[in-house]
Chain A
Amino acid sequence: MAVKKRKAGWHWSQDVHRHFREIGIRQVAYVPDSGTARLIDLCSADRTMRSVVLTTEEEGVAQMAGAWLGGQRGVFLTQSGGVGNCINMLSIISECRIPLLAIVSMRGQWGETIPWQVPMGQGTEAALEAGGVLVQHVDEAEQVPATVEAAAKLAFDANRAVAVIVSQRISGTGGKG
């Protein structure tokens, strides 16, 4: 896919947020993370979406199930460290065949300097797959919007649970937090 030239100051979050609006995302559930901080800010400022801060990530999986049961679309934003918290809660997504769109910002991966981040970061994909979630990787900022768009189709049109894994190469949070 051809990658368009981006204006200075462009951030992938702008296009992803715009796409969330276009496809009617109404609930955004997240535990804050620096990798998705700009996207969280854009969604939180958008009155067409209910942005909800969670105490722990599995709450977001349950909320997304509820959003679908109530007829709305949601998106779940989590750091890779939170993926492990979700594994039992993913049972409802799998058993009830509920669409799930998750954006996972990676730690413990590209250029990580904090050893404690590595175990869960390296186990993130395995945990998602064990929970029945399809995984789509993205390693370049310019490719994030197209990857999220494709994942949203897979989630809401093909009725699947999908996680977009945003590489630490993009967020560059190798040593913070």
Chain B
Amino acid sequence: MATSKTNNFATLQRRSVVHRILKDRGDAAVVTGIGNASHDVASAGDDDRNMYLFGIMGGAAMVAFGIAVAQPECRVVVITGDGELLAGIGSLATIGVEKPKNLSILVIDNQAYGATGNQHTHTARGVDLVGIAAASGFDHTALITDNKALEAAMDDIYKKPGPYFAVVKVMTKTGSRVTVPNDGTRTSRRFRKAVAGEDA
């Protein structure tokens, strides 16, 4: 059976990458895709402005898009995996056309379905997500493979007008599982109150 170990030459560790990104988040809202991304984000510390998704594979980008449209003054950051993004690949076309200035999509790309046994995703076999995003209308994209490029991306993620799309290539190894709030009724209302000031 194919595994991603044979052709993943990444040197970055996913958890330290995500923690570094979140260190600069300020008031940004964060939407996590199903899988390790939710654990990576929660392990940096729970936050009312985090919306963790534990289902709806392929939906993270469009959930974040709806938030970004509703809250144009708030930076909305998607942190998701390559498998999750691939499941909703058409949403890159929708977002590329709509061009929300306050949306950043970060794909933590381990080239594998990490939650189910590290089976290859298509990125392990050459599918270029950055190329797809660029061809879909994202004017600002990056392929990040080292810490220097990660540091250079911080302004793009949080400050410069988007939509911004970046793939961060990471090793297959995952961090330990942490307790992530998974009651959607609770986390969604908490998020809405923190980001929109709305009580349900």
B59 A69 Cβ-Cβ under 8 A: no
CB contact between B66 and one of A53, A63, A88, A96 (< 8 Å): that residue: A63
Q: Of A52, A61, A95, A159, which one neighbours B94 at CB under 8 angstroms?
A: A52
Interface residue A153 (Cβ < 8 Å from any Cβ of B): no
The answer to whether A53 and B195 touch across the interface, beta carbons within 8 angstroms, is no
B80-127 at interface with A (beta carbon < 8 Å): 88, 90-91, 93-94, 97-98
Closest to B185 in A: A97
Determine whether B147 belongs to the interface, using a CB cutoff of 8 Å to chain A. no
Q: Is the CB of B66 within 8 A of A71?
A: no
The minimal Cβ–Cβ distance linking A134 to chain B, given in whole angstroms, is 18
Tell me how many residues of B have a C-beta within 8 Å of chain A.
39
Give the A-B contact count at a CB cut-off of 8 A. 123
**CB of B62 within 8 Å of the partner chain:** yes
Q: How far is the CA of A89 from the CA of B98 in the complex (A)?
A: 21
Interface string of A30-56 (1 = CB under 8 A from B): 000000000000000000001011111
A55 CA to B87 CA, complexed, in Å: 13
- Please give, as numbers and ranges, the residues of chain A lying within 8 Å of B63 by CB-CB distance: 62-63, 65-66, 69, 92
> Which A-chain residue is minimally distant from B72 (CB atoms)?
A70
A59 near B197 (CB under 8 angstroms)? no
Contact present for B66 and A67 (CB under 8 Å): yes
Smallest beta-carbon distance A104→chain B, Å: 19
Known contacts A70-B67, A71-B71, A95-B55, A55 near B91 by CB under 8 Å: yes
Please give me the 4 A-B residue pairs with the lowest Cβ-Cβ distance, nearest first: A66-B66, A70-B70, A71-B196, A55-B90
A interface residues (Cβ-Cβ under 8 A, vs B): 26-27, 50, 52-56, 58-72, 74, 88-89, 91-92, 95-98, 159
New A-B pairs, 19, CB < 8 Å, besides A63-B66, A66-B66, A71-B70: A27-B70, A59-B88, A61-B59, A62-B60, A62-B65, A62-B88, A63-B69, A66-B69, A67-B69, A69-B63, A70-B74, A71-B71, A74-B66, A88-B55, A89-B56, A92-B56, A92-B59, A96-B185, A96-B187
Interface residues of B (CB under 8 A from A): 31, 51, 53, 55-71, 74, 88, 90-91, 93-94, 97-98, 184-185, 187-188, 191-192, 195-198, 200
